[in-house]
């Protein structure tokens, strides 16, 4: 055997391994089951719990005979908030598992490329948590969103704070999608509505630990509002350090929606008091449907105060079940395309769904943000107490017209 051939034969080993793997993992067959793929950011605070909750909620129908007699099978995957993983997951759902609908994702940077794939492959996608306006602005006929779009969120806190606190705003945010989206929309609202420029604006890395130098500059500029953008750990750090450098309590701290995550008030303790954020749901909501949900999450998943990541996962699962129950499905290999279209049309037909969201959720057929941003009600929330037994109150509840902010 020549050395070259020896090398070439070595190359056959990985090829054989690859062939074995592919052969051992065949595409799904025609089995009369409704298949749903869920991809979320799971390995983060309560991610595993709200991911599992969405799966449990949908699969619960199997105990009572399924949806219109069809069993439901859910595949739940983690995308780690990484677009590459989300793209791989959605490719797997569509091409290998031949799912009828995709639910995901948590991060906008993952949902955005997913929209391109589901649009090309003509698979309905419902977005539970991503708030970037781009998700529905792409004009895909196959995408729906349960989460409140950032075009509404920005106005919720910007309008309230401008009218009730002040218009001198200093922005300190991290360079992740949550931080940039929050600050950009807030600044844009203030410019467009009040013609007011930021008192101070700077970006930091999401992994940065010390924000004091910027906060000292902000202190010297004497703003009325400190806008804090980022994920929960950055929000907690910046808020705490803003007090440490001596920015007075009368300066209102307003943060991105990640401030609704439980670790923020728990980490901040007394510093949490007065921190304001816009969200889609608050666990102190007194409506029976909300309290029933809170009790269910406490009992089954051990979370005292579920945030809007939980509520939006739950709500999306309910909307998926509703659409599936209304869609006329044949569930054969040949009907896969028609079944997907029927589910999309059933989702588009959902009007005035009243669930955990602060207002009704409505979709329609046009592939526009007006039709596909179903939840158009945001609430402004303020922490009234920090620590493990944190508490909060709703400052404002604002509903918007479908074309607001476009």
Partner 1 sequence: MNTLSGKLGAGAKVHPIIPWLAGLVALLALPLVMRNNYHQYVVNIICINIILAVGLNIVKGFAGQVTVGHVALAAIGAYSSAMLSSWLGFPFWIALPSAMLITGAAGILIGIPAFRLEGAYLALATLGLAESVRIIISGTESLGGAMGFESIPPPRFFGTVLDSHPAYFYIVMPAAWLAVFFSFAILRSDIGRAFKAIREDQLAAAASGVNVRKYKLIAFILSALYAGCAGSLKAHLAPGFLNPNDYTLTEMVTLLLMVVFGGLGHIWGGIIGAIMVTIINDLTQDYYQYRMVIFGSIIVLTVMYMPRGIGGVLDDFFIRRRFKVLRDKRAEASRAGGSNAA
Binding site for partner 1 (CB under 8 A): 1-2, 4-11, 13-14, 17-19, 21-23, 25-27, 42-43, 48, 75, 77-78, 81-84, 87-89, 91-92, 94-96, 108-109, 112-113, 116-117, 120, 132, 134, 175-177, 179-181, 203, 205
Q: Which is nearer to partner 1, 35 or 321 (CB)?
A: 35
Contact (CB, 8 A) for 280 and 148 = yes
Contact (CB, 8 A) for 49 and 301 = yes
In angstroms, how far is CA 376 from the centroid of its own chain? Answer: 15
Q: How far is the CB of 315 from partner 1 (least distance, A)?
A: 23
Q: Which is nearer to partner 1, 1 or 63 (CB)?
A: 1
Q: Which is nearer to partner 1, 118 or 241 (CB)?
A: 118
Q: How far is the CB of 326 from partner 1 (least distance, A)?
A: 29
Q: Which is nearer to partner 1, 140 or 358 (CB)?
A: 140
The torsion angles phi and psi of 67, rounded to 5 degrees, stand at: -105, 115
Q: Which is nearer to partner 1, 208 or 266 (CB)?
A: 208
**Which runs of E-coded beta strand occur in 178-284?**
200-204, 225-229, 252-255, 276-279
Q: How far is the CB of 82 from partner 1 (least distance, A)?
A: 5
Q: Which is nearer to partner 1, 14 or 288 (CB)?
A: 14
Query: Count of H helices and E strands in the chain?
Result: 14, 12
d(CA 327, CA 348): 11
Q: How far is the CB of 53 from partner 1 (least distance, A)?
A: 16
Q: Which is nearer to partner 1, 130 or 318 (CB)?
A: 130
Q: How far is the CB of 390 from partner 1 (least distance, A)?
A: 28
DSSP state, 393? E
Q: How far is the CB of 130 from partner 1 (least distance, A)?
A: 11
Q: How far is the CB of 51 from partner 1 (least distance, A)?
A: 9
- Non-local (6+) Cβ contacts of 144 within 8 A are 124, 125, 126, 127, 319, 347, 348, 363, 372, 374
Q: How far is the CB of 8 from partner 1 (least distance, A)?
A: 5
d(CA 290, CA 296): 10
Q: List 378's β-bridge partners, or say none.
A: 398
d(CA 163, CA 158): 8
d(CA 265, CA 360): 29
Q: Which is nearer to partner 1, 108 or 241 (CB)?
A: 108
Q: Which is nearer to partner 1, 110 or 272 (CB)?
A: 110
d(CA 146, CA 358): 12
In angstroms, how far is CA 331 from the centroid of its own chain? Answer: 29
For the residues of 353-364, what is the DSSP string, one character each?
B-SSSSS-B---
Q: Which is nearer to partner 1, 8 or 209 (CB)?
A: 8
d(CA 280, CA 360): 12
Four-residue CA torsion sign, 308, 310, 312, 315:
negative
- Percent of the chain that is helix, strand, coil (3-state, to 5): 45, 15, 35
Q: How far is the CB of 41 from partner 1 (least distance, A)?
A: 11
Q: How far is the CB of 31 from partner 1 (least distance, A)?
A: 16
d(CA 283, CA 253): 21
How many angstroms separate the Cα of 291 from the Cα of each of 48, 100, 295, 306? 22, 32, 6, 11
Q: Which is nearer to partner 1, 112 or 361 (CB)?
A: 112
Q: How far is the CB of 21 from partner 1 (least distance, A)?
A: 5
């Amino acid at each position: 055997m020549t050395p070259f051939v020896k090398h070439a034969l070595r190359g056959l080993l990985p090829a054989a391994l690859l062939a074995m793997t592919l052969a051992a993992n065949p595409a799904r067959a025609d089995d009369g089951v409704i298949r749903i793929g869920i991809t979320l950011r799971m390995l983060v605070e309560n991610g595993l719990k709200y991911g599992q909750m969405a799966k449990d909620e949908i699969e619960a129908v199997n105990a009572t005979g399924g949806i219109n007699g069809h069993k439901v099978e859910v595949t739940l995957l983690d995308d780690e908030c990484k677009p590459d993983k989300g793209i791989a997951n959605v490719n797997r759902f569509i091409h290998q598992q031949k799912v009828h609908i995709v639910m995901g994702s948590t991060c906008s940077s993952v949902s955005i490329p997913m929209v391109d794939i589901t649009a090309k492959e003509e698979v309905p996608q419902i977005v539970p948590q991503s708030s970037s306006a781009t998700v529905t602005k792409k004009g895909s006929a196959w995408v729906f969103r349960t989460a409140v779009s950032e075009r509404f969120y920005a106005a919720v806190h910007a309008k309230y704070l401008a009218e009730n606190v002040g218009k001198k705003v200093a922005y300190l945010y991290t360079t992740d999608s949550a931080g940039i989206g929050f600050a950009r929309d807030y600044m844009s609202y203030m410019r467009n509505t009040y013609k007011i420029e930021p008192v101070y604006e700077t970006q930091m890395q999401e992994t940065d630990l010390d924000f004091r130098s910027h906060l000292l500059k902000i202190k010297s500029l004497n703003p009325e509002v400190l806008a804090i953008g980022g994920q929960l750990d950055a929000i907690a750090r910046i808020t705490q350090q803003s007090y440490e450098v001596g920015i007075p309590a009368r300066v209102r701290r307003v943060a991105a929606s990640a401030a609704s995550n439980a670790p923020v008030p728990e980490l901040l303790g007394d510093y949490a008091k007065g921190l304001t954020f816009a969200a889609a749901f608050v666990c102190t909501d007194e409506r029976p449907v909300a309290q029933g949900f809170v009790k269910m999450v406490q009992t089954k998943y051990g979370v005292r105060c579920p945030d809007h990541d939980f509520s939006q996962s739950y709500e999306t699962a309910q909307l998926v079940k509703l659409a599936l129950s209304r869609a006329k499905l044949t569930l054969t290999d040949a009907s896969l395309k028609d079944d997907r279209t029927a589910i999309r049309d059933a989702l588009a037909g959902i009007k005035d769904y009243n669930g955990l969201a602060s207002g009704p959720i409505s979709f329609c057929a046009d592939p526009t943000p007006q039709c596909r941003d179903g939840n158009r009600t945001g609430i402004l929330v303020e922490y009234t107490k920090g620590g493990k037994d944190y508490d909060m109150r709703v400052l404002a509840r604002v509903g918007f017209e479908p074309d607001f902010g476009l």
